[in-house]
């Protein structure tokens, strides 16, 4: 009796090349819409994502988010919600109306608060939640002064575990912690890293910083870059250089 010959193994599919534009978020840390949109005009073709933080959102509200969305950009709404669970859940539901893709809450608000936020974000068209671990401006001495013992890495790991237990699948952390947090959160988690400084730029008020290539190599999903682009003599050229550095690490 003839036996069927073994079928050849399927050819390996080539890995899809990641687009650096999907990894860079430019921080629009401006006091008004006109200033923010003026920078956006300069970054056509070198930025797909923009961060709207507290300074701009408190001044312009959803109007600036709508303008960015109308022009085809994606928005990271960085409001760092931190309050009692019911209030934060309400904040998440209200923020969903803005149409942003990402929204931050503070992991230090605790598991019940994060769980309430996650439940609120389960509705259709809600933004993906990112839990902020330890601010990149804080070093160990500053963290310890708030009553938290241990290192920023210890605290970030503790908060990451709380976030995962609460149903949050993304974090904001420094590059120093991203590899350890990737192990806790899994390969599919979105780990967003601020405090990015190309080697030739000043650290400003950031303590735990990294270059774009280093942060990506350590496992960052996306990078948030503000002043190295927004205060550059040529913002588009600065953004393009960071994209090239990200590309070199992919």
Contact between 247 and 49 (Cβ < 8 Å): no
Residue 53: phi and psi, rounded to 5, are: -100, -170
The CA distances from residue 24 to 11, 159, 196, 237, 249, in Å, are 33, 24, 10, 14, 13
74 contacts: CB under 8 Å, gap ≥ 6: 48, 49, 50, 101
What is the Rg, in whole angstroms, of the alpha carbon atoms belonging to the chain?
20
Contact between 243 and 46 (Cβ < 8 Å): yes
Q: Give the DSSP H/E element, type plus range, for residue 229.
A: helix 227-230
- 51 tagged catalytic: no
The CA distances from residue 72 to 23, 43, 50, 203, in Å, are 16, 13, 11, 31
Q: Which of 80, 115, 182, 218 is catalytic?
A: 80
The CA-based dihedral angle spanning residues 67, 69, 74, 77, taken in that order and rounded to the nearest 10 degrees: 60
> Which positions are catalytic?
80
């Amino acid at each position: 009796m003839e036996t069927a010959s073994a079928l050849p193994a399927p050819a390996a599919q080539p890995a899809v090349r990641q687009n650096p534009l999907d990894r860079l978020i430019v921080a629009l840390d401006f006091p008004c819409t006109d200033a923010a949109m003026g920078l956006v005009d300069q970054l056509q073709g070198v930025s797909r994502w923009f961060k709207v933080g507290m300074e701009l959102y408190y001044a312009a509200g959803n109007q600036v988010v709508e303008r960015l969305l109308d022009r085809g950009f994606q928005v990271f709404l960085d409001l760092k919600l931190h309050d009692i669970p019911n209030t934060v859940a309400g904040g998440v539901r209200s923020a969903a109306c803005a149409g942003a893709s990402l929204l931050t809450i503070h992991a230090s608000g605790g598991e019940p608060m994060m769980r309430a936020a996650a439940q609120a974000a389960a509705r259709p068209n809600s933004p993906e939640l990112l839990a902020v671990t330890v601010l990149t401006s804080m070093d160990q001495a500053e963290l310890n002064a708030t009553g938290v013992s241990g290192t920023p890495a210890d605290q970030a790991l503790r908060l990451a575990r709380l976030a995962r237990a609460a149903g949050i699948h993304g974090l904001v952390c420094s590059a120093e912690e991203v590899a350890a947090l990737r192990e806790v959160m899994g390969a599919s988690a979105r780990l967003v890293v601020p405090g990015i400084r190309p080697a030739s730029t000043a650290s400003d008020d950031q303590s735990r910083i990294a270059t774009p290539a280093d942060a990506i190599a350590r496992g960052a999903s996306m990078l948030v870059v503000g002043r190295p682009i927004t205060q550059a003599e040529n913002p588009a050229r600065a953004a393009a250089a960071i994209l090239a550095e990200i590309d070199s690490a992919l």
